[in-house]
Each structure stands twice: as C-alpha cells, then as structure tokens.
Amino acid sequence: MALQLVLMVSAGQKRAIGRSSYNSTTGHNFGVGRFTNKIVSLQCFSKHCRVCEDTTKRQLEETQPHRCPKNFDPARSAKSMEAQGAVQHCVEVATGPSGAYIAGAVTDDDSTTRSNLKHSLKETFNQ
C-alpha cells in the first residue's frame, strides 16, 4: 500500500508597507501525510547568501568554503518560488523510493501553482 500525501504549499510572501511592496527572500513547502497529519517532507528556498554577497562586496577573488543556502534566482518573484517548489516537491515524492503519491494539493487562491502542477506533472498529478 502506497503512502498518500497532501501537498501543503506556503512559499514566499509579498509584503507591503504603505505604497511600496517587496518580495520575500525565503520560502518553504511542506508535504504532509494524509492520514498522520505529520510533515514527511520539506523544501526550503533562499534568494541570498551572506557569505557570497560579502565576497562580492569586498571584491575578493574566491569565496571561502561554505554551505551556500542560495538556491533560487533573486530576480524571480515570490509567487514563482511557490509554484516551482510545489512542482519540485511532487517530482521528489513521486520518484522517491517510498512509493508515495500525491493525493491532493492545498494551496492559496493562486492559480499559478495549480496550473504549473497540472501542466508540469500530467502523469504524476491528478487534479
């Protein structure tokens, strides 16, 4: 019997202060077991790395060895972070050794994430 997951998507937020707004620099997606309601997988995204940015700022030739958390293009929006994370999460779960499958997706009212899931994972994700 395969494990059923419900994909909980909550990624980068767009924050507004007065009339100006800016995109969040981090995001996260959770995979929650359908029957256990426990987190079984997690994806985190970051647009920045302090060590790399410090190296650039000081105009050093080489970055010191470190675990760079930057894994998302800073030029892209927080909404695209959410959609990309959902697709990556589904692929990881579906191709993993556990035999799990995605039973559903719980998202906000953003149609971009659902559209990306539907078109990117036609064989894996059934709406």
Domains in the chain: boundaries? 4-46+73-120
Region 79-91: mean pLDDT is 79
Q: Is beta strand 14-17 parallel, antiparallel or unpaired with respect to 20-23?
A: antiparallel
Phi, psi angle pair for 70, to nearest 5°: -70, 115
The two counts, helices (H) then strands (E), for the chain are 3, 6
Mean per-residue pLDDT, 91-111: 75
Confidence check: pLDDT of 125 > 60? no
| pLDDT over 50 (residue 34) | yes
Q: How confident is the model at residue 4 (pLDDT cuts 50, 70, 90)?
A: low
Radius of gyration of the chain (CA): 17
Query: pLDDT at residue 12 above 80?
Result: no
pLDDT in the model for residue 11: 55
Residue 122 Cα to chain centre, angstroms:
19
Closest to 119 measured CA to CA, from 92, 73, 84: 84
